[in-house]
């Protein structure tokens, strides 16, 4: 039988040859997952023997990661904000940058009762927001039915299924009523750039969650045109931005009848979240969301 140390050495070597940074650490994560253990336990007992079944599971995971499948997809889950999420090839993998949208929503000092998440993917934004606002109910929309199903499982995983409803559809085309908070991380990468992205993204994440059209702004145009009919008079929308897209998206928002309320930087100092509100209050007050 192999031991922990030997498997970690093999895993680190394989991942380094595949061009993966932090190869030793990733090998440790994969082995811990294969053995249903923890990375700390592996460090404490490097000479511990590993049964053939466990070693076999590790080698399968190692091959997948060496082929540049994202780590989150290999192990099947990822942490986001305060919640844990199942991930799969049908959705974008939640990233720490997107947590800036939750920070921006909290800093806006509103107490939303109705939250809408457009392009929900794993449900990460909606579920993180619902975890922060226990009085709120939410709706998440995704074009891909399988993504909506994954988001439903994530709601149940985090005990939020009673307050979250996930639907398949094209942005908010089938949604009526108004919401106090609208969140979205739309596809914003220029079409011509996607093939040159790191393999984990270009090969393994869905193009529908990445491709923002020739200038990266197609999804913003679609979403911004619908926001005035969806926001309550006190409501805010928080959109994720690609690097340098703030001015262009702000101009589109103002042309659609929205006012830029502010922005929020991610940990890298990039303006990642754009906060929007209505220029004029809607006539007739709020209505319940579908």
d(CA 20, CA 65): 9
Question: Inter-axis angle of helices 4-17 and 23-34, to 10 degrees?
Answer: 130
Q: What pLDDT does residue 289 have?
A: 41
127 touches 99 (CB < 8 A)? no
**Cβ-based burial of 255 (10 A; exposed 0-12, middle 13-18, buried ≥19):** exposed
Pick the closest to residue 76 from 63, 85, 64 (CA basis): 85
Structure tokens at 37: 């253990």
**Which residues of the chain have a pLDDT value below 50?**
285-290
SS3 24: helix
Q: Residue written as tokens 């140390």?
A: 5
**What pLDDT was estimated at residue 281?**
61
99 contacts 49 by C-beta, under 8 angstroms = no
All structural domains of the chain: 2-67 (1.10.8.10), 76-278 (3.40.50.150)
The neighbour count for residue 145, using CB atoms within 10 Å, is: 13
Phi, psi of 107 (to 5 degrees): -70, -20
């Amino acid at each position: 039988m192999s031991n922990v140390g030997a498997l970690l050495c093999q895993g680190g070597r394989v991942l380094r040859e595949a061009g993966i940074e932090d190869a030793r650490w990733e090998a440790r994560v994969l082995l811990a997952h294969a053995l249903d253990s923890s990375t700390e336990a592996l460090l404490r007992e490097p000479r511990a023997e590993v049964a053939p079944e466990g070693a076999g599971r590790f080698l399968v995971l190692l091959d997948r990661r060496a082929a540049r499948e994202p780590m989150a997809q290999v192990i099947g889950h990822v942490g986001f904000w305060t919640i844990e999420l199942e991930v799969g090839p049908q959705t974008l993998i939640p990233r720490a940058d997107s947590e800036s949208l939750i920070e921006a929503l909290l800093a806006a000092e509103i107490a939303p009762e109705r939250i809408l998440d457009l392009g929900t993917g794993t449900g990460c934004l909606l579920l993180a927001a619902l975890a922060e606002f226990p009085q709120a109910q939410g709706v998440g929309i995704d074009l891909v039915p399988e993504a909506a199903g994954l988001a439903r499982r994530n709601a149940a995983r985090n005990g939020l299924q009673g307050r979250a409803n996930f639907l398949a559809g094209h942005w908010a085309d089938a949604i009526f009523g108004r919401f106090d908070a609208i969140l979205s991380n739309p596809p914003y990468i220029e079409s011509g750039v996607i093939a040159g992205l790191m393999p984990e993204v270009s090969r393994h994440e869905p193009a529908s969650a990445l491709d923002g059209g020739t200038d990266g702004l197609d999804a913003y145009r679609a979403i911004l045109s619908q926001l005035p009919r969806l926001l309550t008079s006190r409501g805010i929308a928080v959109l994720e931005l690609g690097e340098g897209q703030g001015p262009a998206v702000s101009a589109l928002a103002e042309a659609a009848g929205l006012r830029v309320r502010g922005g929020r930087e991610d940990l890298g100092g990039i303006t990642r979240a754009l906060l929007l509100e209505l220029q004029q209050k809607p006539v007739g007050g709020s209505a319940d969301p579908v």
